[in-house]
Amino acid sequence: MLINSARALVRDKSIEKYVNGRIGIARKTGAYARLNHGSLAVEAAENVGANPDRYCHGKTLVGALRKGYRDQYNSELRIDLPSPHVFVQSLGDVATRAFRGNA
């Protein structure tokens, strides 16, 4: 499925964004001096690997999806329309509840 291959392509970028985001939060809250960068990197890799739907960087994933779709189908991906190529069941369930079956 296209979304799985795109997720795999952006895994490293998602880990990078996770680490940089946590470092930014630590700087703002004054906890940067106590931050263990090594354990943060391990935590990021574990979290992104265990739950890519939650921790995948959205803009990066959409970019990879658009490129993969364009390469495979020779047309532009419309993310505002439902497609089995980019469907994630858990997100579909949320959309169905939120939009009362109109998603």
pLDDT along the chain (103 residues), means of 10: 88 96 95 94 96 90 91 86 78 80 50
19 exposure class (CB count in 10 Å sphere: 0-12, 13-18, 19+): middle
Per-residue buried b or exposed e for 64-82, using 16+ beta carbons within 10 Å of the residue's own CB: bbbebbeeeeeeebeeeee
pLDDT at residue 77, rounded to an integer: 83
Query: What's residue 2's pLDDT?
Result: 85
Domain count, the chain: 1
Question: What is residue 102's predicted lDDT score, i.e. its pLDDT?
Answer: 54
pLDDT at 29: 95
pTM exceeds 0.75 for this model: no
Query: Residue 36 has which token pair?
Result: 């263990």
Which domain, by its residues, includes 15? 2-99
